[in-house]
Structure 1
Amino acid sequence: MGKKQHQSDKLYLTTKEWKDIYGGHKDDTATKIQRAQFKRLPFTHCALSFLPFEDPVCTPDGIIYDLSHITPYIKKHGLCPVSGKKLTNKDLTVLTFAKDKDGSFRCPVTYKIFTQTSIIAAIRTTGNVYSMEAIDELNLKRNHLKDLLTDKPFQRKDIIILQDPQNLDKFNIEHFYHVQFDTKTKETLLEEKLAMQSPKYFLNSLNNEAKEALSQLEKQYVQKTEEKPKEQIADSVNAAHFSQGKVAAGLTSTTMEPVTNNKAAILDEDDVKYSRVTRNGYVRIVTNFGPLNLELFCKHAPRACENFIVHCRNGYYNNTIFHRIVSGFVLQGGDPTGTGTGGESIWDRPFKDEFQGTYKHDQRGILSMANRGTDTNRSQFFITFAACPNLDGKHTVFGRLVGGATTLCAIENVETDKEDRPLEDVKIMAAEVFVDPFEAAAEAVKMERKALASKANSVSSEEETNRNRQQQTEIQKPKSYSSGVGKYIKPEIRIAVRRAANEDTSTIEVKKKVPTIL
């Protein structure tokens, strides 16, 4: 015996000691056998599917099923799945359970919640479910054999006991007939083989709650139908001068399918439209300080200009404020939230910068796109109060001020706070579009396609007429009556020729030579 051998002893019983030594639940072999021999089914579950019932029905023995599961079983086997006795659809009684606000089953008379220890009974003639206590006190003891809700008469034999805590053998799943004996037919086995092809068949480890959730998901889930995008055909309007590159990709890559027909690449519809823009656009922004007339460089920055014109026409900028004024630098607006962090483009996504061309921030009144970085243009814009060469190559220049210089000066003189927000609201009252070159470009593309379609129709109709004319002028091939030389001569003509030749030979006289005597 060493020192400090009882130093770790506690003056109380631990949970493990109480469970394993002095009491509590002992998970030994006997308890495991007992649990294996008795598996109780809750009265709220179907005795065939082991899932909570939705349309409950019961047999004369008080066994509860779900109507959607028991009906096909009776149709196939004609037996009760629990007792194995003969059963028909006429023997089933439709049950009506009362529920409280939480959805728990209860007695409609005593309002007591049904538990595993409650004695529950149903009336065969009506299907109403009560606690046995209510039937004893209000029906049997008073000899008043009428339904407590509908006042419909019944007999004592019409009382069906659904649950009795003293007789739980009918809730023991291990004694169910369809569990002990395999009642599956060949059709059922074939259905199971087909079902085994689905991964859901092997989800045997799931509990009933998870299975119920999956069944509900199966009913409510609607699979999305993937629409395959229609293949665009290149025409003379949108055909690029380069190919799609599928032939080269199919030759050099093992992941691509081999393609032998080289097709021209198809240009984006916006690029086709922008290539036909030939003039600038003009817009007027009316503020509470006066108007600002703007010229838009639509050929130089088509995406920024179209985004600005569409927003002006749709009233996107109406009643918005210029949230930032920096004297000697810029006047910034175009955010419907007025915070400097909002705004969306007409495509619902940021669009790329357009730095091509000679336009720069080299003077007062330059109209440019505000952004958060490279290719993050949305709806916000700014007008410069002075030349800002440090903004070149960072912001897309897409217009300039051509009228309203006094208005711009008045706005520049508005006082601001430390965060450059104006103390007085500078609001955009309305925006007017005077010239929209994108409409003309879209109309030009439409007219080109229309002319191309009419030309194709005229060419096809001309080819059809030429084909018909050629068929009409074709020389019909003569009919052959035999093979070899003279196969196209009719038999009548051949017989007539032979007959004429015979007559000619019969009329010719043959001169005989007279022998001479030497």
Structure 2
Amino acid sequence: MIMLLIFFTILKFIRNLKKEEMIFNKRNDIYMDISYVNIESKERVTERIIIKLYYDDVPRTCLNFYKFVEGFEVEEEDGKIKNLRYLNSTFHRIIKDFVIQGGDVVRHDGRGSISIYGKQFEDENFMYKHDRVGLLSMANHGPDTNGCQYFITLGKAEWLDGKHVVFGEVLGEYLDVIKRISMVETRGRDNRPTSMVSVVGCGFIKKSGKDEL
């Protein structure tokens, strides 16, 4: 309850998004280094995925994701600034052959949500379909309730079309990584991993090929 009050009821303002931030570098792909326990070796490993965002077609949704990779500041009631980002966030829900879901930067358990536009923001468009493995899409709990959570598809999921906004993809050479992650042991009806699956590094791949952040 205290955490919810801090993040939701005591947000006096979210720092203004500058106009130039809407023209963020469209050449930047995103990397995520993900730590998990490999189902075969039983050892904890860290593997990288590279994500391409559909900047031109879904700009508001991409900017939301981009800013949580970079780190997004909000002001708490006591005036302190809190930096929210995907670094150290977890994948709290993994369903084999369906999705891996993460991005809760508020509660880290799938119950929290916030966006750079406020608590939530509208569905931008449904231009892209959930027609293959590796698509990056917004998690929500109904129309126009997008926040910070996202999922990556593990196959076709056409029943999600028109309900969840696809805004990027995992590049093909990294699809085997998300397939390996999808094999981790889970428990319960909420398909929570039995061992932590977390983002231990994230940032941008510049045109030069060098990592940033």
TM-score in terms of structure 2 length: 0.71
Which of 24, 29, 32 matches 1:282?
Answer: 29
Q: Is the 8 A contact 2:129 2:161 kept in 1?
A: yes
Q: Which residue of 2 aligns with 1:44?
A: none
The structure with the largest alpha-carbon Rg is 1
| Structure having greater relative contact order (Cα 8 Å, sep ≥ 6) | 2
- Deviation of 1:277 after TM superposition, in Å, equals 7.4
- Deviation of 1:343 after TM superposition, in Å, equals 2.6
Unaligned runs of 5+ in 1: 1-267, 437-518
For residues 27 and 149 of structure 2, the distance between their equivalents in structure 1, rounded to whole angstroms, comes to 20
What secondary structure does 1:379 align onto?
coil
Q: Deviation per CA, 1:383-439: give whole Å up to 9, x if none.
A: 000011110110111000104223212111101112200111111102111259xxx
Q: Which residue of 1 aligns with 2:94?
A: 325
Q: Is the 8 A contact 1:281 1:297 kept in 2?
A: no
Change (3 A) 1:407 1:356: closer
- Deviation of 1:273 after TM superposition, in Å, equals 7.0
Kindly indicate which of the two structures has a greater share of residues assigned to helix.
1
- Over the residues paired in the alignment, what is the CA RMSD in angstroms? 2.3
Q: Which residue of 2 aligns with 1:350?
A: 120
Change (3 A) 1:310 1:371: same
Change (3 A) 1:390 1:435: farther
What secondary structure does 2:136 align onto?
strand
Which of 147, 169, 180 matches 1:378?
Answer: 147
Q: Which residue of 2 aligns with 1:306?
A: 63
For residues 392 and 435 of structure 1, the distance between their equivalents in structure 2, rounded to whole angstroms, comes to 31
- Deviation of 1:368 after TM superposition, in Å, equals 0.4
For residues 434 and 278 of structure 1, the distance between their equivalents in structure 2, rounded to whole angstroms, comes to 11
Q: Is the 8 A contact 1:330 1:382 kept in 2?
A: yes
Q: Deviation per CA, 1:113-152: give whole Å up to 9, x if none.
A: xxxxxxxxxxxxxxxxxxxxxxxxxxxxxxxxxxxxxxxx
- Deviation of 1:346 after TM superposition, in Å, equals 1.6
Q: Which residue of 1 aligns with 2:12?
A: none
* One-letter amino acid matched to 1:290: E
1:389 paired with 2:158, answer yes
For residues 101 and 176 of structure 2, the distance between their equivalents in structure 1, rounded to whole angstroms, comes to 17
Change (3 A) 1:300 1:308: same
1:406 paired with 2:176, answer yes
Change (3 A) 1:319 1:348: same
- Deviation of 1:278 after TM superposition, in Å, equals 9.2
Kindly indicate which of the two structures has a greater share of residues assigned to strand.
2
- Deviation of 1:354 after TM superposition, in Å, equals 1.7
* One-letter amino acid matched to 1:286: D
Change (3 A) 1:280 1:353: farther
- Deviation of 1:348 after TM superposition, in Å, equals 2.7
Q: Deviation per CA, 1:445-485: give whole Å up to 9, x if none.
A: xxxxxxxxxxxxxxxxxxxxxxxxxxxxxxxxxxxxxxxxx
Q: Deviation per CA, 1:212-243: give whole Å up to 9, x if none.
A: xxxxxxxxxxxxxxxxxxxxxxxxxxxxxxxx
* One-letter amino acid matched to 2:146: N
Q: Which residue of 2 aligns with 1:417?
A: 187
For residues 392 and 277 of structure 1, the distance between their equivalents in structure 2, rounded to whole angstroms, comes to 27
Unaligned runs of 5+ in 2: 1-16, 36-45, 72-83, 208-213
Number of residues paired by the alignment?
A: 166
For residues 159 and 48 of structure 2, the distance between their equivalents in structure 1, rounded to whole angstroms, comes to 28
Change (3 A) 1:395 1:305: same
- Deviation of 1:306 after TM superposition, in Å, equals 0.5
Change (3 A) 1:269 1:330: same
TM-score in terms of structure 1 length: 0.30
For residues 335 and 377 of structure 1, the distance between their equivalents in structure 2, rounded to whole angstroms, comes to 12
For residues 66 and 24 of structure 2, the distance between their equivalents in structure 1, rounded to whole angstroms, comes to 14
Q: Which residue of 2 aligns with 1:78?
A: none
